[in-house]
């Protein structure tokens, strides 16, 4: 298992403010002061800006929760209403025990089939029991990395253009998606982004195959970095979940005028984090020292 979150000096291009926060946040009282004085006002401003940017076609307006963590079920349904269901094949990496994930609604209520992958074997066993009545669903207890993800998908019989790909592995999401896009062309991708890093800032967690998320902001990549990666492979950013967790990408040949906001870019489509401390996860684990 990977060790603690690395020091801020090892993060990609940390700012002076981030360096200060890193060193001060080990003290509980100072961490609280940073949240109140810096992050809470910042969050309120960002959320208000996001609300003003919502258009009638914004995917956030279609959010509805069935089994997803928030409203992803409704947003995903709206995407496929606009582009068509295709062959109804999905892949989800990082499902936990399968109860709360982005593909369950499609698999359970809309006759989709697919592959669900989870690194924790106990959680994967629970998922296998949960989906045992669905013959078109395959559960794989695997820890996916950039090195093995293509072989995992190939062995599972994933088609070259699955209709839906979901990536939520709390760390190497960017690098795993990059490797997948070298061999597969999913019609829709839902991927977790790190909303702490607001566009146009680019930030990608350095690749670490043994990474273990520790509840900090050291995971995945910024929305701008993911948008650039997607665009290089012909996958366009079309929206974000209203809680600032997931980004929605659609293959370029399917976009046309179905997602009129996509041309406005990541800065327009960005949704700020509305979870954890108020402006995303902290930079480091909390210390028992009270300060």
Q: Which pLDDT belongs to residue 276?
A: 67
Q: Comparing 37-41, 61-65, 138-142, which segment has the lowest mean pLDDT? A: 37-41
Q: How confident is the model at residue 274 (pLDDT cuts 50, 70, 90)?
A: confident
Using alpha carbons, select from 249, 262, 199, 257 the residue that is nearest to residue 75.
249
Domain-embedded: residue 285: no
Q: Answer whether 274's CB lies under 8 Å from 242's CB.
A: yes
Nearest-angstrom CA–CA distance, 41 and 34: 11
Q: Which pLDDT belongs to residue 277?
A: 63
Q: How confident is the model at residue 288 (pLDDT cuts 50, 70, 90)?
A: very low
Specify the CATH number for the domain of residue 156: 3.40.50.150
Q: Which pLDDT belongs to residue 282?
A: 83
Nearest-angstrom CA–CA distance, 159 and 196: 34
Domain-embedded: residue 248: yes
In angstroms, the Cα distances linking 234 to 63, 87, 145 are 25, 20, 22
Residue that the structure tokens 């989906």 belong to: 131
Domain-embedded: residue 52: yes
Domain count, the chain: 1
Tokens of 79: 């995407």
Domain-embedded: residue 278: no
Q: Report pTM.
A: 0.93
Domain-embedded: residue 275: no
Domain-embedded: residue 284: no
Range of the domain at 226: 9-269
Q: How confident is the model at residue 3 (pLDDT cuts 50, 70, 90)?
A: low
Domain-embedded: residue 288: no
Domain-embedded: residue 170: yes
How far from chain centre, in Å, is Cα 21? 25
């Amino acid at each position: 298992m990977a060790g603690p979150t690395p020091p801020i000096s090892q993060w990609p291009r940390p700012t002076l403010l981030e360096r200060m926060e890193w060193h001060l946040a080990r003290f509980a009282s100072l961490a609280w002061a940073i949240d109140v004085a810096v992050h809470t006002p910042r969050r309120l401003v960002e959320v208000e800006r996001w609300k003003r940017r919502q258009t009638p076609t914004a995917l956030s307006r279609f959010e509805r929760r069935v089994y997803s963590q928030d409203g992803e079920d409704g947003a995903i349904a709206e995407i496929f209403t606009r582009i068509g269901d295709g062959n109804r094949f999905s892949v989800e990496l990082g499902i936990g025990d399968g109860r709360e994930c982005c593909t369950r609604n499609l698999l359970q209520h809309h006759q989709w089939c697919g592959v669900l992958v989870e690194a924790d074997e106990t959680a994967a066993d629970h998922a296998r029991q949960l989906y045992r009545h669905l013959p078109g669903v395959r559960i794989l207890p695997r820890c996916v990395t950039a090195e093995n993800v293509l072989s995992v998908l190939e062995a599972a019989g994933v088609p070259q253009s699955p209709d839906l790909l979901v990536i939520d592995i709390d760390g190497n999401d960017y690098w795993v998606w990059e490797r997948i896009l070298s061999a597969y062309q999913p019609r829709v991708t839902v991927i977790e982004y790190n909303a702490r890093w607001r566009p146009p800032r680019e930030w990608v967690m350095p690749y670490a195959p043994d990474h273990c998320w520790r509840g900090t902001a050291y995971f995945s990549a910024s929305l701008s970095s993911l948008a650039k990666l997607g665009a290089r492979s012909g996958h366009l950013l079309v929206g974000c979940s209203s809680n600032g967790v997931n980004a929605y990408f659609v293959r370029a040949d399917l976009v046309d005028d179905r997602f009129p906001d996509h041309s406005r870019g990541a800065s327009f489509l960005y949704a700020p984090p509305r979870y954890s401390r108020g402006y995303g996860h902290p930079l480091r684990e909390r210390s028992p020292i009270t300060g």
